[in-house]
Structure 1
Amino acid sequence: MTAKQERFVQEYLLDLNATRAARASGYSERTAESQGSRMLRNVKVLEAVAAAQKARAERVEVKADDVLRELLLIARTDIGDAFSPTGALLPLKEMPAHLRRAISSIEVEQLTVEGEAIGTVAKVKLWDKPKSLELLGKHLRLFVDKVETTVQFSHEDALGELE
């Protein structure tokens, strides 16, 4: 592989954006999109990307099943599990582990009237459920675009190809 191709592979692995990776590898703004696309059709580049991704997954011990389980966990999480029957936010230690992994952020605000605390408001934000469902659906091929084409090819066309 050339030095540019190796650099492209390293850059591409950062965010899987071929145009940006081509720019960072030394291609011009004007040609980056086409060069990035061309790089992703190069067998040696594709093999290097696949090998690097496999090595990374082994290093961090991430398997496809782990990713799918986390997406499913996010998709199935019920925000109600974060609160007690009285509506108070549960302490993190009391929340089930699956719920804690699905939480993106928690904000707790003290309500006051004339300087006196009268209560709290808890805002719990979960990771993006629709995005998790979309990714799971794509993995399960639930959202496959179907394209129908009709090709007409006559005997004359076939004979013309032979000449």
Structure 2
Amino acid sequence: MRLIPIVPIDAARFAPFGSLLEAPDKDPRQDRAAAVVNTRPGVPANLALVRSEPYATAMPLRRLERHPHSSQAFLPLSVSAYVVVVAPDAGGVPDEAGLLAFLVPGGVGLSYHPNAWHAHMVTLDAPGVFAMLVHEDGSDGDCVFARIAPVELAREG
């Protein structure tokens, strides 16, 4: 089974897939911290709470997802650190050779671009909770899944 190394998240390496949501340095408020995209007029925003299971129960990873018409943001609420897995697009399917796994500190959120292939959220050692914002109406256009060859994430230490 293929092993994907987990590397610390870096805004520049993550940029093709989305943006990081970090606390403002000085100002009490950071407007437009990330683009909120919805290409389907009339489809409502869904602010959901999502429980994430720890790494050990989530491996091997067997599928990715993308949201063709909406950005999708995650803000950790009770998470010390988590892992995100992304892949470039290869003509409507994930480019499995380009899979990347990032370690994200619990104080940093993220927003995926529409159509960014990504895996479900994975915490490290304990379940966690995220606030998630996406535009969806329950139709097939909300989310597309793609099976991938099973992979494991390589944790250091």
Q: TM-score, normalised by structure 2?
A: 0.19
Higher helix share: 1
Q: TM-score, normalised by structure 1?
A: 0.19
Structure number with the bigger relative contact order (C-alpha 8 A, sep ≥ 6) is 2
Structure possessing the higher radius of gyration over alpha carbons: 1
